[in-house]
Structure 1
Amino acid sequence: MTGADDGTSASASTKLDPLSPFSLVNQEGPGQAITHIKLRSDNYEEWSRSMRRSLKSRRKFGFCDGSIAKPTDDDFLLSQWEVVHCTVVQWIMNSIDPSLLDSVSDTEDARLLWTELAAQYSVVNGCSRSSLNRAHGSATWSQGDTKVIAAVYGPKAGTKKNENPEKASIEVIWKPKTGQTGKPEREYEMILKRTLQSICILTINPNTTTSVILQVVNDDGALLPCAINAACLALVDAGIPLKHLAVSICCCLTEAGEVILDPTKLEEQTMKAFVYLVFPNSISSALPQGSLDTNDEPMEHGIITSVTHGVMSVENYFRCLERGRAATAKLSNFLRNRLQSAPQLPG
């Protein structure tokens, strides 16, 4: 009697609610296209809205934002979670234009895949030049919900104490969204100054100072890379001679060893480690006149800046480097196209 009762109880407990996110109706399978919009390099916002609506209508978007957590090994729902999770991953892959598939990692994690696509393609509509009328050059850059405005003033005659008067000087001023400048902001200023000095041709306007002011509008993660990208674009807008542009990205390492790009503020706080990477991008036809009059070696395959927080192995660091380089290559192409088509480009 007890055994029969236990069997009946177990059978009842494993019956899925048709409204459960772990349920799939007969027509739902991995080969289905749940949106008619294919993700291209220039339509991320449209695609993500359509995918989000389709997934939410099926009660499946939680697999992408992490709110539907993976059950424990002893939970009877684990196998069904894995079936639905793999289906969601395939739905996303089905909605990507074939020309972009080579750029997508082979991750089988829906949340990481969703985050990676946002990091690579949401920035397309996230930058603009000449945002401020009174600055000599300015730019606004958005990555996800993080937004920074950069303003460039100068070059102005004279350099500050301890600066070499035979070269141009770069001054960086960081303005947080609220509150006073503290230790983190001063660290950002130092990293930005070193990065910008490495891409500027400092011998063209000796004994001058160019001020770069960064205003944080909103911080939802990957703040420093967003600021570096804004500052670089503002320097171009101001006509400052450059060796090459710089493109920056944040690569995070999860406890499970997965690499995700440009995380949110909350994701940054839960990561095992993360690294800010800045890569060079030579685009001779888009830089101010005289920018390439330098004898420095090209840095196409090098790295300008690398700042690591937390502990990661050498192997994981190079994994981040590989992922970051691939992602910034696409960002470089976008930046090249945007600058070449800009009518206000100096020179």
Structure 2
Amino acid sequence: MEVENNTNLLMRDVNCKLGIFTRPDGSVFISQGETAVVVGIYGPIEVKLHKMLINKASVETHYCPKSGTPGISDKLCESILHNVCEAALVSTLYPRSSILIIIQEMQNRGGILSCAVNGCCLALLNAGTDMKFLFASSSCGLDDEGNFHLDPDNLFLEKATASFIFVFDSVGKGLIASHTSGSFNLAQYQNALELCKKASEGIFDFYKCMIKKDLQDKI
């Protein structure tokens, strides 16, 4: 892999605060650089009859943009977030109920999907919802000289040749979701995948630190 020779491989600062609201079962404010989201988890809660599943929980995900009505890109984010959360949850433990996940975009300065994915995982942890695995997302961009930029902001993405977003699980670090755009070859895709997989390990370590800190604060 050639990623080791490239520059700009540092992530923006990641910060979060767990349990920021009292009404949801779990909540988090998370920021990556100037990009920020708030995530709230409700459930398992009572589900409407037409959405009820006999053998597992119904997982609902709602992505709310900072302003206005959701557009095509917002619906894409919502679909990816739903698929990731549904794959991670042990929904068979909560039959005939619903798990509601609400993601509110606060600021988008690039990497909003990765930030939202990581926020969902932290909020589910804060809610104590049973999961098969944790999940973490990281992103990178490719410039016209073939250099990778980890966790790029909007200024870079506006002129990037290609952008990559990956979501990994905590068990085997396997790929569970991805989204790409732009022009790239197979070797560049593999390099981006390996780079983001390494970055995701740092996100998983961040989860551990935040959960440990949250437990200590409650003692």
TM-score after normalising by structure 1: 0.59
Does residue 151 of structure 2 align to residue 262 of structure 1? yes
Aligned partner of 1:321 in structure 2 is 193
Aligned partner of 1:165 in structure 2 is 54
Aligned partner letter, 2:31? S
Aligned partner of 1:193 in structure 2 is 82
TM alignment of 1:126-141, pairs within 5 A: 126-141=15-30
Q: Is the 8 A contact 2:35 2:115 kept in 1?
A: yes
CA-to-partner distance for each residue in 1:260-282, whole Å, 9 max, x for gaps? 1111112112111111101112x
Q: Distance in 2 between matches of 1:138 and 1:153?
A: 9
Q: Distance in 1 between matches of 2:113 and 2:82?
A: 12
SS of the residue corresponding to residue 117 of structure 1 reads: coil
Aligned partner of 1:250 in structure 2 is 139
Residues 309/161 of structure 1: CA separation in 2 closer, same or farther (3 Å cut): farther
Residues 159/300 of structure 1: CA separation in 2 closer, same or farther (3 Å cut): farther
Gaps of 5+ in 1: 1-103, 282-298
SS of the residue corresponding to residue 158 of structure 2 reads: helix
CA-to-partner distance for each residue in 1:196-241, whole Å, 9 max, x for gaps? 0111101100121111111111100000000011111111111111
Aligned partner letter, 1:146? T
The structural deviation recorded for 1:179 is 1.1
Q: Is the 8 A contact 1:158 1:165 kept in 2?
A: no
Aligned partner of 2:5 in structure 1 is 106
Aligned partner letter, 1:106? N
Aligned partner of 1:117 in structure 2 is 10
CA-to-partner distance for each residue in 1:71-124, whole Å, 9 max, x for gaps? xxxxxxxxxxxxxxxxxxxxxxxxxxxxxxxxx9433x5xx2xxx3243xx21x
Aligned partner letter, 1:131? I
TM alignment of 1:151-300, pairs within 5 A: 151-158=40-47, 161=50, 164-281=53-170, 299-300=171-172
Gaps of 5+ in 2: none
Residues 312/175 of structure 1: CA separation in 2 closer, same or farther (3 Å cut): same
The structure that has the greater radius of gyration is 1
Q: Is the 8 A contact 2:52 2:97 kept in 1?
A: no
Residues 300/163 of structure 1: CA separation in 2 closer, same or farther (3 Å cut): farther
Does residue 184 of structure 2 align to residue 312 of structure 1? yes
Aligned partner letter, 1:266? L
SS of the residue corresponding to residue 326 of structure 1 reads: helix
CA RMSD of aligned residues (A): 2.0
The structural deviation recorded for 1:313 is 1.1
